[in-house]
Amino acid sequence: MTKGQEKVKVLLVDNNRDFVHLLSIFLEKEGYQVMKAYDGAEALEVVRTSPPDYIVLDLVMPKIDGGRVCHYLKLDQRFQKIPIIILSGVAAEVSSQMFEIGADAYIAKGNFEDLKRDILGTLQLFQGKSWMASIRRSILGVEKMHPREIVNELLMANDHQETVLQNLAEGVLEVDAGGKIIYVNPAACQILGLPEHELIVQPLTSVLDDHFRREVERIVKKFKISSSPARQTLTLPHQGKTLRVHFSNILENLQFAGYSVIIEDITPLMERIQELSLLSEIGIVLTSTLDLKAVLGLVIAKVKEALDVEAGSLLLASPDRTSLTFAVALGERWQSLQGKEFKADGLWGRMMQTGESILIPEAERDGRFDPVWDRESGFTTRSTLFVPLLTRGEAVGIVQVSNKRGGAPLTEEDRDLLSSISRYAAIAIDNARLYDQQKAMNENLKAMQEKLLESERLKAMADLAGATVQEFRQPLKSIQSRMDSLLRSLDEGHPAYSQVKELTREIGKLSDTIRHIEKITKMRQIVEKEGQRGRKRTIHSG
């Protein structure tokens, strides 16, 4: 048969080489150019390399069965219009499911002569373009076949196994001895980020990251020289994910025939481990100092690093919680807000009252977001997140972060992480404040002790002065009386008169000083007595 000047190409696919040989002889005599493949993987490679005009495809084959081959080709826009004839030796057992394959014609695999006639007739129908859609809803020759119980049981077991594999959360792949993927379940497609029909018969190493590829090549090299079952498990990065991959070799007659791969996406688990590690690190850093200013700076620095954001700030509440102050502001243009105080109303007031965090993924479209600080700083907020700092059930401040690097919006996962960090931060801030208060109290106590010591010192000096005055008062009085008598006995013209007069004056000054000291001493004694009576009244009234 010809198509213009060329023969019509028919691809025969069956794992029975004798069947393919005999059927190809027949079709070649009818004028067709016959192409051959002996399993589903080989058939897909032939089609992708040199597309035929028609495909005659056995249903049950190793590696990739005919149903899957048909499915993959009908999904591919390059080959979906190639008519496919499905041959089946189990047509009687699977007749109700055959039409789900999506082929263009179905023929029961019975008597060879009948089979040749049915295949040729179907090909001629396709070429004449007079075939009806009803051919897709019938199985030629099935009326001559009878269901077999053992075949039904085997098919049921195969369907059960396929259902399990299709619904596993882990990715499952089978790779042949040549390194090409011949089976992949939906979970593996999702993990590897490619649809099933694009993965099938592709080398596994061609869809892996470089590091992943090198590890697979190393493992396969070991598998190829092993004649006993072998397994290996690796944890590998791939396209931003962390995968735990289990490899097991497949042996046929103690020879390497390929390997199976089970893939677990442990990215969430690794992220949780990293988060716990980060929280532990933050806890250690924040408790390494009791200096409040240093603690505030460390909080925002760690928050920016952990959430990978462009800007972050920590606002502290006033004692009456009616206003907030930007205690720390980090990020381009955000530093200009540091030290600014404002009334805690609106969104801010709500957070201070309820202690609830607020996530705004798209600031421009969210009416809750007030761009007042954007206008003040020149910063442009795309996405923002607020988490109150809570100590003993009350908000003492708020941590705010804005704009994930790379442009993605902040997420609920970011809220959870920031909430965890904020709990550590609130404790650290509370400890730093308590330390500052204790430090201030200690300084006040020290000042009071110094005043008390000074008071005691002055009291001791006063007591000493009082005792000294008592000792000097009487002798000085006697000296002053004698000097007065001596001065009266001398004439003003006497050579010693002026000296005696000057000495008498100085003695008088000394007497005045002693009287003044006695007066102060008496007043201090009166004050002390009043203080003692007051303390006694306080004790009795208590």
Domain with CATH 3.40.50.2300 in the chain: 2-150
Q: pLDDT of 182-238, one tens digit each?
A: 889 899 999 888 998 889 888 888 888 777 888 888 999 999 998 899 999 988 888
Query: Of the CATH numbers 3.30.450.20, 3.40.50.720, 3.40.50.300, 3.50.30.50, which one belongs to the domain with range 168-265?
Result: 3.30.450.20
Local confidence band at 97 (pLDDT 50, 70, 90 cut-offs): low
Q: Give the CA diameter of the chain.
A: 176
Flag whether pLDDT at 405 surpasses 80. yes
Position 320, amino acid: D
Q: What's the confidence (pLDDT) of residue 147?
A: 53
Of the chain, the percentage scoring pLDDT greater than 90 comes to 20
CATH fold of 450-541 reads: Helix Hairpins (1.10.287)
Flag whether pLDDT at 66 surpasses 60. yes
Q: pLDDT of 356-377, one tens digit each?
A: 999 999 998 998 998 898 898 8
CATH fold of 270-439 reads: Beta-Lactamase (3.30.450)
**CA-CA distance, 223 to 229, in Å (whole number)?**
9
Domain with CATH 1.10.287 in the chain: 450-541
Q: pLDDT of 315-361, one tens digit each?
A: 888 888 899 999 888 887 888 888 899 998 888 989 989 989 999 99
Q: What is the mean pLDDT of the chain?
A: 80
Q: What's the confidence (pLDDT) of residue 155?
A: 43
Q: What's the confidence (pLDDT) of residue 425?
A: 75
**CA-CA distance, 403 to 333, in Å (whole number)?**
13
In SS3 terms, 139-181 reads as EECHHHCCCCHHHHHHHHHHHHHHHHHHHCCCEEEEEECCCEE
Please state the pTM of the whole predicted model: 0.53
Flag whether pLDDT at 157 surpasses 50. no
**CA-CA distance, 500 to 504, in Å (whole number)?**
6
Flag whether pLDDT at 54 surpasses 90. yes
Write down the residue that tokens 């179907």 correspond to.
122
Question: Which is higher by pLDDT, 500 or 73?
Answer: 73
CATH fold of 2-150 reads: Rossmann fold (3.40.50)
Number of Cβ atoms within 10 Å of the Cβ of 68: 19
Q: pLDDT of 469-515, one tens digit each?
A: 667 667 767 777 777 776 677 777 766 677 777 777 777 777 777 77
Helix (H) or strand (E) holding 250: strand 241-252
Mean pLDDT of 114-130: 83
Local confidence band at 389 (pLDDT 50, 70, 90 cut-offs): confident
User: Do the beta carbons of residue 525 and residue 473 sit within 8 Å?
Assistant: no
Q: pLDDT of 20-29, one tens digit each?
A: 999 999 999 9
Flag whether pLDDT at 299 surpasses 80. no
Local confidence band at 153 (pLDDT 50, 70, 90 cut-offs): very low
Q: Which two tokens stand for residue 215?
A: 């590890």
Domain with CATH 3.30.450.40 in the chain: 270-439
- DSSP H helical segments within 38-135, as ranges? 40-49, 66-75, 91-98, 112-128
Q: pLDDT of 433-460, one tens digit each?
A: 677 777 777 777 787 777 777 767 767 6
Question: Which is higher by pLDDT, 107 or 93?
Answer: 107
